[in-house]
């Protein structure tokens, strides 16, 4: 049967990975999960709201649109570590309190942005569990 996997119900990928028929069918079903458009729209709206809240908060700290873009780029480049950006001379905070306020704004944004996609993740997780149960995988 190993010489003829197609006869045993086994699936062998071009990389040599072997799947039982149920494992392969479950994998294909999981790969084809599509989150409903209404869930995706709600998640996108929450992401947009998180983004706008960040912009409004930073603007409330007296930042211009250009300064907000620059700080966002540094935040992304230094993977959320503005202390490292400062140590590299890429940003200078006018005071420790301003640093705390800016970091708090980004932390609130990250939390809200992550939560924005909870419904999508929950949908995918539930579908994967359902498929796994269905195929006994």
**56-81: per-residue pLDDT in tens?**
999 999 999 999 999 999 999 999 89
Question: To the nearest whole number, what is the mean pLDDT of the chain?
Answer: 91
Res 8: pLDDT? 60
CA angle 127, 46, 112 (to 5 degrees): 95
Exposed/middle/buried for residue 75 (C-beta within 10 Å: 0-12, 13-18, 19+)? buried
- Between CA 79 and CA 75 the distance in angstroms is 6
- Between CA 104 and CA 80 the distance in angstroms is 11
The yes-or-no verdict on residue 86 having pLDDT over 70 is yes
pLDDT tens digit sequence for 6-44: 556 788 888 988 888 888 999 999 999 999 999 999 999
- Between CA 109 and CA 2 the distance in angstroms is 53
Sign of the alpha-carbon torsion through 96, 51, 63, 91: positive
């Amino acid at each position: 049967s190993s010489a003829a996997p197609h006869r045993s119900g086994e699936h062998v990928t071009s990389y040599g990975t072997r799947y039982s028929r149920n494992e392969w069918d479950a994998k294909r079903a999981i790969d084809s999960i599509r989150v409903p458009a209404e869930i995706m729209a709600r998640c996108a709206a929450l992401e947009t709201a998180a983004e706008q809240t960040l912009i409004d908060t930073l603007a409330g700290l007296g930042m211009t649109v250009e300064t907000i873009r620059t700080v966002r780029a540094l935040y992304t480049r230094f993977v959320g570590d503005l202390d490292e950006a400062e140590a590299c001379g890429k940003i200078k905070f006018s005071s420790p309190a301003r640093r705390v306020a800016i970091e708090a704004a980004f932390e609130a944004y990250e939390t809200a942005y992550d939560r924005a996609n909870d419904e999508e993740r929950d949908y995918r997780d539930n579908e994967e569990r359902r498929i796994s149960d269905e195929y006994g995988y």
